[in-house]
Amino acid sequence: MSQSIWIATSWNELNEWQLQEIAHLYINTPAEKFPEVYPRMISIVYQKEDTAIHRFELFKLIRNVPMSELGKFTTFLLEENNYYRFPAISGLIKPSDRLGNITIRQFSTIDTFFHQWNMDRTLIKLKRLVASLYRIKEKYDDLDLPVVDEITRNIPVKQMEAVALAYLFTRMSIAEQYKVVFPEQKEESEEEKKLKPVFKKKAQQYIPFDKIIIGLSMDELQPLGKKQDINDVRIFEFLSVLSESILYHKEKAKAYEGK
């Protein structure tokens, strides 16, 4: 007798338990070991909740259906990276989807902490990254970070990892949208891509956004004003203007070379 089963078919359809469990595996699994943990990720999608009855239902399912067949309906785990939502934390202002309410000043701090965390994935650096994404006041101030950290450090580690995954996917989306600011890296071979988390990219030389902000404030055109004015500009407006500035100076350099 056939039976219909509803499962999540996208990142946004995962519940909080699923998201945190899968984020934990993604973030803590080296690329070369990913094929070993991928079946567990598939199982989490089908299990839905961490209860005895859900574990029993999963056991019955995988006893009758091969994991290879179950995996045909969870391909978003490998092929998509479009999860951009951040959880609410009591007492704090959370980032809106895709960082829509984040200024370039805050983004500069977030991205610096993200780069530091992504080098070794330690817990202390994860806590710094999570704290930098939230605010205690409407206007962001680096000096508020210790107060924010007193709150964010108390959430479960797996929830922190889900926050980190949302930021990582958001940053990838931003890099795709603003390719002039984030040049593409050398394409990996098909063998390198095989059964590898979509966000596991090779490290690229990192330029802190602080330096980019200063550079744009010193631009002869000053499209966003002085540094203190630029700090409060929303990230997407800043990146749009920065893209235009880069293209303008590239064209100017070409014209100069042609003389």
pLDDT, tens only, 187-227: 555 555 555 555 444 455 677 676 666 666 555 555 555 66
CA-closest candidate to residue 197, choices 77, 84, 117: 77
- Integer Cα distance of 239 and 141 in angstroms: 20
Residue 1 banded pLDDT, cuts 50, 70, 90: very low
Q: Between these two residues, 55 and 1, which has the higher pLDDT value?
A: 55
Q: Is the pLDDT assigned to residue 60 strictly greater than 50?
A: yes
- What pTM did the predictor assign? 0.84
Q: What pLDDT, on the 0 to 100 scale, is given for residue 255? A: 65
The conformational region for residue 193 under phi > 0 = left, psi -120 to 50 = alpha, else beta, is alpha
Q: What pLDDT, on the 0 to 100 scale, is given for residue 28? A: 94
With vertex at residue 214, the alpha carbon angle to CA 108 and CA 246, rounded to the nearest 5 degrees, is 90
Residue 60 contacts by C-beta under 8 Å, 6 or more apart in sequence? Answer: none
Domain spans of the chain? 11-79, 97-246
Q: What pLDDT, on the 0 to 100 scale, is given for residue 191? A: 52
**125-146 tens-digit pLDDT:** 999 999 999 999 999 999 999 9
With vertex at residue 236, the alpha carbon angle to CA 118 and CA 183, rounded to the nearest 5 degrees, is 55
- Integer Cα distance of 55 and 132 in angstroms: 36
